[in-house]
Amino acid sequence: MLQPRSNTLQYNMLISDIEQGIIKIPQFQRKFVWTLEQTANLLDSILKGYPIGTFILWQTGEKLRSIRNIGNIALPDTPEGRFVQYVLDGQQRMTSLYVSLKGAKIADDNGKDIDYGEIYVDFEASLDEPVVTTDVSGRNPDEIIKFTDLLNGGYALGEKYPNYLDKLDDYSSAFKTYQFPIILVVNAPIDIATEIFTRINVGGKPLSVFEIMVAKTYDAARNFDLSEKYEELIAKLEGVSYETISESTVLQAVSVCLVKECDKKHILQLDKNKFIDIWDDVIDAFEMAVDYFRTFFRIPVSQLLPYDGLLVPFTYYFYNHKNKPLGTQRDFLQDYFWRVVLSSRFSNALETKIGQDIRRIDKILQDVPPEYEEPVDITADYIRDHGYFSPGTAYIKGFLCLLAYQQPQSLADNALVTIDNSWLKQANSKNYHHFFPKAYLLKMGKDMSRINHIANITIVDDFLNKRTIRDKSPSRYIADFQKSNPQLETALKTHLIGDPQSWGIFSDDYDLFVQKRLECFSEELKKRLILRVSDRC
């Protein structure tokens, strides 16, 4: 069990420890946001001897990514052989003390410099009034003194303020002898330290595992900064429309390659040097996994991925297998992908299930078919019952992947439909087209749950949807396209839609169309699964 130590530090000692690099603000702390007025109130409380709360520091030998500059003031590295003390609670107060002593300038969110040198002590104020203030407009300059001058001015101040010699001494002494309460948490592991931080800051946003790992894995000597490395990766992925991949997915990928697990506990226990050693190879494998999703599965953008987490086991595969999967390994991986999607496997307990699935990937790497306890149902009836169109769900995204795989073409001229992340987030996107338009079906008395169904969804270009099809019946707008586009049936096939006559399109038979399309979806899934006796097809 931890036994935190209580202590006190005088002002000069506190500032000295900051300037020597012993007290540090870890990067997972939020930015300094206190205003000039808040800082003046803090200093006023100290001058009057009021309690201002306890600083909680974590003393450790771990070297974390920390804030290197406060305002325009560069802070040194911790001296060799000394423990560092990271601020877990009291960052805003401690930073306020430091910037006010130094008279630093710090830019606010609008880029405007706030000058913390513009804080004054008012000799004429009584102790039941604010003695430390920022408002000195219209004041006699002989009755006020800058806070920085009060602490740093020395004996010369007596000549400048002969009427306030006692207050000069009393106020300066009040700051320099103030005993700041300190609680020191000694040698706790980083997960415990950050848990303390999170519990203290109950009103704020809890720390993410990524924020903790950014701090833990920082290494200036090896030029490794996880935050910057992640931004570099996302910049590369943006070029292939996979920029929406989360920080946690990348962390999980590194973790499974190191220890075959990716829950929070295992990630936080990863060895810093091993993490840095493996980073480049894991990112190479991660990029190979992205490329495989784009080329083999033909998922053109990350927004269509049923789960970001699918990249984790595939990264593990490519980390251990540098070449494109062929033969049985290719078939096993495809079967695995679709079983995860169709069973909504990663919708809960993601990290635990990825850890289990790494064992399946190990079998695939040995050309052994994995075992699956949960069967899949790809019958038309099951898809009908579970196919309400909600593009945020993994199950529906799976069918959107099926549609994207066909590389859908415009019904007007067979041009490829452009698919990008920007418009795939919402069900009402103009690029998700109800083949039997919603307005038309509502007039026919159809229920919304049947109208807004994946079997009635196609991916088309924005112009076609808004300007051409609108609320026309399929028999009307398809007949129009047929006159102007002799290759219309080829375009329809890229939307997994068959002959307009037999599919009930020309007779506006919605029920027949839906049944045909559900059967088509089922057949497409059969091509991608290695069916077992327990599966329903």
Give per-residue pLDDT as tens, 349-361.
999 999 999 999 9
Stretch 287-313: mean pLDDT, rounded? 95
Report pLDDT digits (tens) over 71-104.
557 778 888 888 888 888 888 888 888 888 888 8
| Of 215 and 118, the one with more pLDDT | 118
Instruction: Decide if 498 contacts 455 (C-beta within 8 A).
Output: no
Name which residue leads in pLDDT, 289 or 209: 289
Question: Is residue 63 exposed (0-12), middle (13-18) or buried (19+ Cβ within 10 Å)?
Answer: middle
Let me know: does 302 contact 328? Beta carbons within 8 Å: no
- Highest mean pLDDT (candidates 131-140, 229-238, 438-447): 229-238
How high is the pLDDT of residue 263?
Answer: 93
- Inform me whether the pLDDT recorded for 1 exceeds 70: no
Tokens of 482: 């047929």
For residue 426, name the pLDDT band (cuts at 50, 70, 90). very low
3-state secondary structure of 185: strand
pLDDT of residue 526: 96
pTM for the structure as a whole: 0.74
Domain locations along the chain: 5-200, 209-365, 380-526
Convert the pLDDT of each residue in 328-382 to its tens digit.
999 999 999 999 999 999 999 999 999 999 999 999 999 999 999 899 999 999 9
**180 CB contacts (<8 Å, ≥6 apart)?**
8, 9, 10, 11, 14, 52, 55
Question: Which distant-in-sequence residues (6+ apart) come within 8 Å of 397 by Cβ?
Answer: 304, 305, 306, 341, 391
Residue 319 has pLDDT above 60, yes or no: yes
> pLDDT tier at 468 (50, 70, 90 boundaries)?
low
Least confident of 187-191, 310-314, 404-408: 187-191
How far is 45 from 132, CA to CA, in rounded Å? Answer: 9
pLDDT value at residue 83:
87
Residue 12: the pLDDT is: 84
What would the mean pLDDT of 124-139 be, rounded to a whole number? 88
- What is the spatial distance between Cα 401 and Cα 17, in angstroms, rounded to a whole number? 57
d(CA 94, CA 2): 24
> How confident is the model at residue 300, as a pLDDT?
92
User: 58: pLDDT confidence band, cut at 50, 70 and 90?
Assistant: confident
pLDDT tens digits, one per residue of 226-278: 989 999 999 999 999 999 999 999 999 999 999 999 999 899 889 989 999 99
Q: Which residue has the higher pLDDT, 201 or 477?
A: 477
Which residue in 262, 246, 254 sits closest to 356, CA to CA?
A: 262
Encode 241-291 in three state secondary structure: CCCCCCHHHHHHHHHHHHHCCCCHHHHHCCCHHHHHHHHHHHHHHHHHHHH
- pLDDT (tens digit, 9 = 90+) per residue, 206-229? 668 888 888 788 887 888 989 899
CA 531 from chain centre, in angstroms, equals 36
Q: How many CA atoms lie within 13 A of 450 on its CB side?
A: 13
Looking at residue 81, what is its pLDDT?
A: 81
| SS3 readout for 7-67 | EEEEHHHHHHHHHCCCEECECCCCCCCCCHHHHHHHHHHHHCCCCCCCEEEEEECCCCCEC
Distance of CA 362 to the CA centre of its chain: 29
